Amino acid sequence: MRRHGRPGAVLAALCLASAAAHAADSPESSAAGGKSLDEIMVQGTTLAALRTGMARLEDEFYRRYNELNSNDLYDVYCAVEARTGTRLERRYCRP
C-alpha cells in the first residue's frame, strides 16, 4: 500500500498547471501577440430590485389578462398578506 506518492504527484501537477496559467495571463504574453483584448462590463442587480421588477411585471400581466377576460369571476388580483398564525407576509395572486 503505497499511497504517499499520489498526493505529491497531484500537488506537483497543480503547481505546474498554476505556473502555466500564470504565464498565459501575464501582460508580456498578450503584448507579444499584438492583440487588444475586449473589455466586458457586468453590472449586477440587487435581489430587492429583481423582486420589485417581478411584482410589477406580474401586476401588468394580470391587469392585461383581466382586460382581455370577459368573465369577471376569473379576474386575478394580487395582494401582500400574512397567513393565519404568522406575521410573515407574502404576495398572493388569486381569482
Listed by start position, the domains of the chain span 47-94
| Residue from 76, 72, 69 nearest 95 by CA | 76
d(CA 56, CA 61): 9
pTM of the entire predicted model: 0.52
The DSSP annotation for 39-90 comes to: --------HHHHHHHHHHHHHHHHHHHHHH-S-GGG--EEEEEE-TT---EE
**Higher pLDDT residue, 59 or 21?**
59
d(CA 73, CA 89): 26
> Is pLDDT at 81 greater than 80 in this prediction?
yes
Q: What pLDDT score does 21 carry?
A: 62
Q: What pLDDT score does 36 carry?
A: 85
